[in-house]
Amino acid sequence: MRVRGDLELYRRVLQQARPHWLKIAGIFGLDLLSSPLGLLTPLPLKIAVDSVIGAHPLPAFLQMLLPATVSNSRAAALGIAVGLLIFLAILAQLQSLASSLLRTYTTEKLLLDFRALVFRRLQRMSLSYHDTTGTADSIYRIQYDTTSIQYISIDGLIPFVTSAVTLAAMLCVTTRIDWHLTLVAVTISPILLLLSQAYRPRLRQQSRKTKDLEHSALAVIQEVLQAFRVVKAFGREEQEEDRYVQRSREGMRSRLHLALEQGRYGLFVGLTTALGTAAVLWIGVRHVTAGVLTLGDLLLVMAYLGQLYGPLKTVGQKAASLQSYLASAERVFSVLDRVEDVPEHAGASPLSRASGAVTFRHVCFSYEQNRTVLRDISFDVPAGTRVAIVGRTGAGKTTILNLLTRFYDPDSGQILLDDVDLRNYKLADLRNQFAIVLQEPVLFSTTIAENIAYARPNASEAEIVTAAKLANAHDFIMKLPEGYQTQVGERGMRLSGGERQRISLARAFLKDAPILVLDEPTSSVDLKTESVIMEAMERLMKGRTAFMIAHRSSTLRDFDLKLELEAGCVVSNGTSVATGQSRGRGTARPVLEERETGG
């Protein structure tokens, strides 16, 4: 992960928060109000000490506001002190209520928008990104890392600015009372600054490490819940729990370490401010005894100092947690900045319905470096052809389909649909040309009807039923007590494998795409179900280009073209049934010479 400067991260977070600037300015304004309120808070005490208990006159601005008879009476001065105290308290409460409401609304809205953005981006990432990063990491980034925006743009920044304003205001006021004290009070600021500079890199580093450990614990949960049947079947619950606890413990240790660092930093900040306060007290008392300063003024300055160091301390502590949020922001932006590896060209052309002619030209591909999966694959499939793809496990059959649907792009060579490179079509339009039925059908935890309509969300009920009938699924669906409204459970687990497969076939019928992609759709069902599914599949393939991977020869009749793969090479390509003339490993042979060359 690239380490970024704090400033760049701030800039990007603020850019993200820009649509909400009005609300943020509102929070800001409300928080700024706390500064004059803070300045007024110690005033009643000063009046009580100096003008009620002592014999000093009321502060000048009160004398101006009030008639002379009132300002000269002690009882009235006490009344003013008490009244002022209550009035200020109410004002402060109202201010904090308004501020907290607006703050909650704004932060939640900000977070929602940011999460949606990251989610959209992650959905656009290619399969190879998700294969390498893992689901837990993505979940962590969307759910947890995005929260950093709240803290950085609002909870971190605003106190920073408001305390700076408070600081300036207090400096003005205290300087007028006793500039010696001000000087002492501000000398500690550079020390605080140095402290924060020294601790920043350490805190960031530790935060980063903690996050990595935490999402690795999340990964265990996710893996176990996804493969729950396997875990149970092998009785591995305890070991999985150990694995989870082990990783969480590492995360916990790392958090503790972080807390220790933060605590140590807080301790230094606290010590420094305590030194400042002590110095002011020392000098202040001597000034009071010398008669330069009234007792009330000293109390006022001491109260200001508490208010001044308060924000300074919070800013210091916030700077510590801020590092953790900056580490999060860094992780989020690294997703947002990632270059798409299956990009859509700016001038990509739309495609409404392809005729379905597919050509592979010298296609080479590898998922990882130095491990070639497909070598120099060339073949030509006219529109409406039925292609059977056969070959041993691991030969690269699924990979060919992954490239055809552009889940990945080839390392070299070209794949053409209707004589145009796949990369020149709009991605959504391209994917719309394929109906895909996989070996392990994927259903979502909703009703059967909605699962079928996944291919076309606005399909009518009649269309759904027709598709189910064509897929030989209607009969079994009607036997279920709730028919099409039956909930299939998570990943469709309440249905049998054959039933799930027929629903995914119905989906393919409903999609009515010109190209069919079938990856061993019948390998996990019995022969009887297979024949029911094959019958539906025959119907589905009519008038479309179809690619089907199959192992059983029973499913491989009636194909126009047979593509035999071995170790990533086409070894046979023709209309006859398996000739099996396998060549040596790695001998690439483009079987059909291209009719035209070039683009």
Residues that bind ligand DGT (CB under 6 A): 131, 367-368, 373, 391, 393-399
368 contact, one of Mg ion, ligand DGT, none, CB 5-8 Å limit per kind: ligand DGT
CA–CA separation, 250 vs 241, rounded Å? 14
Contact between 182 and Mg ion by CB under 5 A: the answer reads no
301-321 core/surface letters (b: 16 or more CB in 10 A; e: else): bbbbbebbbebbbebbbbbbb
Applying the rule CB under 5 A, the residues between 10 and 29 that interact with Mg ion are: none
Ramachandran assignment for 384, one of left (phi > 0), alpha (psi -120 to 50 degrees), beta (any other): left
- Angle (CA) 396-400-406 rounded to 5° is 140
Task: Supply 544's token pair.
Answer: 């479309």
Of the candidates 40, 70, 323, the one whose C-alpha atom is nearest the C-alpha of residue 166 is 40
Task: Supply 126's token pair.
Answer: 């290619």
Give whichever of 382 and 394 is closer to ligand DGT, judged by the CB atom.
Answer: 394
9 contact, one of Mg ion, ligand DGT, none, CB 5-8 Å limit per kind: none
395 contact, one of ligand DGT, Mg ion, none, CB 5-8 Å limit per kind: ligand DGT
CB of 392 to Mg ion, least distance (A): 11
Residue 154 Cα distances to 17, 147, 312, 318, 374, angstroms = 9, 11, 17, 12, 51
320 contact, one of ligand DGT, Mg ion, none, CB 5-8 Å limit per kind: none
Give whichever of 9 and 400 is closer to ligand DGT, judged by the CB atom.
Answer: 400
Task: Supply 139's token pair.
Answer: 């979940």
CB of 520 to Mg ion, least distance (A): 7
CB of 401 to Mg ion, least distance (A): 8
Give whichever of 196 and 399 is closer to Mg ion, judged by the CB atom.
Answer: 399
396 contact, one of ligand DGT, Mg ion, none, CB 5-8 Å limit per kind: ligand DGT
Please give the full DSSP string across 180-219, using - where no structure is assigned: HHHHHHHHHHHHHHHHHHHHHHHHHHHHHHHHHHHHHHHH
Instruction: Tell me which amino acid residue 468 is.
Output: A
Give whichever of 439 and 466 is closer to Mg ion, judged by the CB atom.
Answer: 439
Instruction: Tell me which amino acid residue 248 is.
Output: S
Contact between 398 and Mg ion by CB under 5 A: the answer reads yes
CB 88, CB 37: distance < 8 Å: yes
Give whichever of 131 and 558 is closer to ligand DGT, judged by the CB atom.
Answer: 131
Find the part of the chain contacting Mg ion (CB under 5 A) among 78-86, 115-123, 394-402, 527-535. 394-402
CB of 131 to ligand DGT, least distance (A): 5
394 contact, one of ligand DGT, Mg ion, none, CB 5-8 Å limit per kind: ligand DGT
CB of 263 to Mg ion, least distance (A): 54
CA–CA separation, 594 vs 160, rounded Å? 68
Dihedral angle computed from the Cα positions of residues 214, 217, 219 and 222, in that order, rounded to the nearest 10 degrees: -120
576 contact, one of ligand DGT, Mg ion, none, CB 5-8 Å limit per kind: none
Find the part of the chain contacting Mg ion (CB under 5 A) among 118-126, 397-405, 449-457, 473-481. 397-405
CB of 408 to ligand DGT, least distance (A): 9
CA–CA separation, 253 vs 293, rounded Å? 52
Give whichever of 365 and 425 is closer to ligand DGT, judged by the CB atom.
Answer: 365
Length reported for the chain: 599
Find the part of the chain contacting Mg ion (CB under 5 A) among 85-93, 195-203, 350-358, 396-404. 396-404
Instruction: Tell me which amino acid residue 174 is.
Output: T
Give whichever of 122 and 327 is closer to ligand DGT, judged by the CB atom.
Answer: 122
131 contact, one of ligand DGT, Mg ion, none, CB 5-8 Å limit per kind: ligand DGT
CB of 400 to Mg ion, least distance (A): 9
Give whichever of 79 and 394 is closer to ligand DGT, judged by the CB atom.
Answer: 394
Contact between 522 and Mg ion by CB under 5 A: the answer reads no
498 contact, one of ligand DGT, Mg ion, none, CB 5-8 Å limit per kind: none
CA 333 to chain centre: 9
CA–CA separation, 241 vs 262, rounded Å? 31
Dihedral angle computed from the Cα positions of residues 70, 72, 75 and 79, in that order, rounded to the nearest 10 degrees: 50
Give whichever of 96 and 439 is closer to Mg ion, judged by the CB atom.
Answer: 439
Number of residues that bind Mg ion (CB under 5 A): 1
CA–CA separation, 578 vs 388, rounded Å? 10
CB of 211 to ligand DGT, least distance (A): 25
CA–CA separation, 257 vs 203, rounded Å? 10
373 contact, one of ligand DGT, Mg ion, none, CB 5-8 Å limit per kind: ligand DGT
CB of 130 to ligand DGT, least distance (A): 10
For β-strands 434-437 and 515-519, DSSP reports them as parallel
SS3 category, 343: coil
432 contact, one of ligand DGT, Mg ion, none, CB 5-8 Å limit per kind: none
Task: Supply 277's token pair.
Answer: 């306060």
CB 85, CB 47: distance < 8 Å: no
Give whichever of 399 and 522 is closer to ligand DGT, judged by the CB atom.
Answer: 399
CB of 579 to ligand DGT, least distance (A): 19
CA–CA separation, 172 vs 409, rounded Å? 65
Give whichever of 27 and 550 is closer to ligand DGT, judged by the CB atom.
Answer: 550
Give whichever of 142 and 373 is closer to Mg ion, judged by the CB atom.
Answer: 373
- For CA atoms 123, 126, 131, 133, give the dihedral sign: negative
Burial class (CB in 10 A: 0-12, 13-18, 19+), 201: exposed
Within 8 A by CB and 6+ apart from 279, the residues are 184
CB of 393 to Mg ion, least distance (A): 7
Nearest residue (beta carbon) to Mg ion: 398
Give whichever of 401 and 471 is closer to ligand DGT, judged by the CB atom.
Answer: 401
User: Looking up tokens 């055809």, which residue turns up?
Assistant: 404
Residues of this chain that interact with Mg ion (CB under 5 A) are: 398
